[in-house]
Amino acid sequence: MADTPKLSEVEHVKEASNYLRGTLAESLVNPLTGALYPDDTHLIKFHGSYQQTDRDLDSERKRQKLEPLYSLMIRVRVPGGIASPAQWLRMDELADEYGNHTLKLTTRQAFQLHGVLKRDLKKTIQGFNEALLDSIAGCGDVNRNVMCNPNPHESPLHAAVYEVSKQISAHLTPRTSAYWDLWLNGEPQFTSAPNEGEEDAEPIYGKTYLPRKFKIALAIPPYNDTDIFANDLGLIAIEERGQLVGFNVAVGGGMGMTFGMPDTYPRLADVIGFVPADKVVDACEKIVTIQRDWGNRENRKFSRLKYTVDRVGLDVFKAELNQRLGFPVEPARPYQFRSSGDAYGWSIQADGRAHLTLFVEGGRVLDREGYTLKTALREIAAFHTGDFRLTGNQNLIIANIAPEHRLSVQAMLQQHGVAIEAGKEYTALRRGALACVALPTCTLAFAEAERYLPELLDRLDRVIRQQGLAQNDILLRMTGCPNGCARPYLGEIGLVGRAVGRYNLYLGAAFNGERMNKLYKEMLDEDGIVRELTPLLADYAQNRQPQERFGDFVIRQGYVQPTASGLTFHE
């Protein structure tokens, strides 16, 4: 008889949680601490929140014999990245009333509120639920926010793909009533909640949900702006004569790894075939259930789908999917991705509607002297009749602007110091850069990212301009740890924090998101980063081939070898 697997601590917490309730109700009203009970810190993630501390203040508070300044980060789902003006206004209001007066636009097209105290958590969640937003499955061992190409120019194709993203999100939302009981006084706002009188059940997830988080993204070629290959499940829209016919399915992507553990690695998803549009939701469910049944529940460092796929093999995984579906997936259809970034500035449709893509550095919507983006967007939302679209690159599209509102939008942004033509105000390197939150709130961060990257870019911009590369797109991505929230291993230049002020430098990812980078130098400080990149950028400026991307160039010149797969990432 095979030995019974030794389950991780989190598996036991989930099993005993009564469908994600645990002792959260007691934790929330405990007046003796700003923290939750230890087991509840795992369960709160399923409700869309992480417990954090302000690490800038930890030493001083410890000296004063005070507990850390605990707060909650809340991740609010925006399926497909599209929010209404009313929803934008509500998130803006909640950020001021209960948060730290900023909004974070994430690399998964979601909102994040930071700095919410435990006593205000329920009021905050109720606040955005009233605007028909929710945070259930914003985090935790379930399917997270479903990403979708936010480009409104692709209509009606985009509209069809967006509808699929909403269907997938609704279908894979947990069915437990715990969210409604804990936060909404038992009054569900959405059809995903159980009907009155029904007992809790999770027909897709089961009582212990998934072994680890699960991420899904959809993209419409030639734009890979959702970085679908970085996801557990990527869906590539296939169209014929302008109509959506189905999706190529890619499985096994994921960015996280652990320093010092070469058995952990980032991995890009593999395309395994094509599924018609009317069967894609079922295919997503079946892939999720395979991971539910086959994923590693003993060691969370090896629990993502990428490790399941590599352990059993792609052929075995595909055969199991075919069996569960009851039909074989078809051969993949041809497609081509050209880029993974955003196109900034104005675009006008034939019907007169306009779209404006704004560069939002670090995805942080805030007000500071001379740049009051948060106020500008609040004032625009008050009269805007279109929508707001969060991109996978932490930027924002003010979409479907009525012709009569275009000049007002432009004037409002200029009045508040917001650059409309990002191509004139910023280098392409800065426009394409991504950063995770990192310090001071992320408990996993070894180094700075969002707060520090603009300072580093000030120095790199000087190098870029000296070499005549100011408008050459180069993807730079920085994270404070190796878990990969800003997808650093898909950066043509990737910087991953090792310690305070020290980063590993990675080079050679593909501009279209179809190849990861490779480690080039370790433990560099700021001077070291600039020192290492300066001659590479000079070489690129002088010796690149026509239309050659930086990531391709450093491989051709032999600075790094290409990464063929996750299993060869550390070679």
DSSP string, 62-90: HHTT----EEEEEEEB-GGGEE-HHHHHH
Token pair for residue 373? Answer: 């983006």
DSSP string, 157-170: HHHHHHHHHHHHHH
Q: Which of 292, 477, 485, 498 is catalytic?
A: 485
> Quick check: is 139 catalytic?
no
- Nearest residue to 49 (alpha-carbon basis) of 117, 2, 97, 105: 117
Q: Which of 139, 148, 284, 481 is catalytic?
A: 481
Q: Are 295 and 212 in contact (CB under 8 A)?
A: yes
> Quick check: is 65 catalytic?
no
Whole-Å CA distances, 412 to 118, 382, 419, 422, 425: 36, 12, 11, 16, 17
Token pair for residue 181? Answer: 């009981």
Token pair for residue 87? Answer: 């929803």
> Quick check: is 122 catalytic?
no
> Quick check: is 213 catalytic?
yes
Residue 431's H or E segment, with its range, is: helix 428-431
Q: Which of 45, 90, 118, 144 is catalytic?
A: 144
Euclidean distance between CA atoms 133 and 193, whole angstroms: 14
Q: Which of 14, 21, 45, 75 is catalytic?
A: 75
Euclidean distance between CA atoms 518 and 493, whole angstroms: 10
Q: Which letter does DSSP use for residue 292 in this model?
A: H
Angle at 187 between CA 38 and CA 79, to 5 degrees: 75
Angle at 104 between CA 530 and CA 187, to 5 degrees: 155
Residue 478's H or E segment, with its range, is: strand 476-479
Token pair for residue 50? Answer: 């992480």
Count other C-beta atoms under 10 Å from residue 262's C-beta. Answer: 11
Q: Which of 436, 498, 515, 549 is catalytic?
A: 436
Q: Are 377 and 386 in contact (CB under 8 A)?
A: no
Q: Which of 442, 477, 498, 515 is catalytic?
A: 442
Euclidean distance between CA atoms 76 and 64, whole angstroms: 35
Q: Which of 215, 297, 318, 389 is catalytic?
A: 215
Q: Are 539 and 283 in contact (CB under 8 A)?
A: no
How far is C-alpha 570 from the chain's CA centre? 24
| Greatest pairwise CA separation for the chain in angstroms | 73
> Quick check: is 436 catalytic?
yes
* Cis bond before residue 535 (omega within 30° of 0): no
Residues belonging to the active site: 75, 144, 213, 215, 436, 442, 481, 485
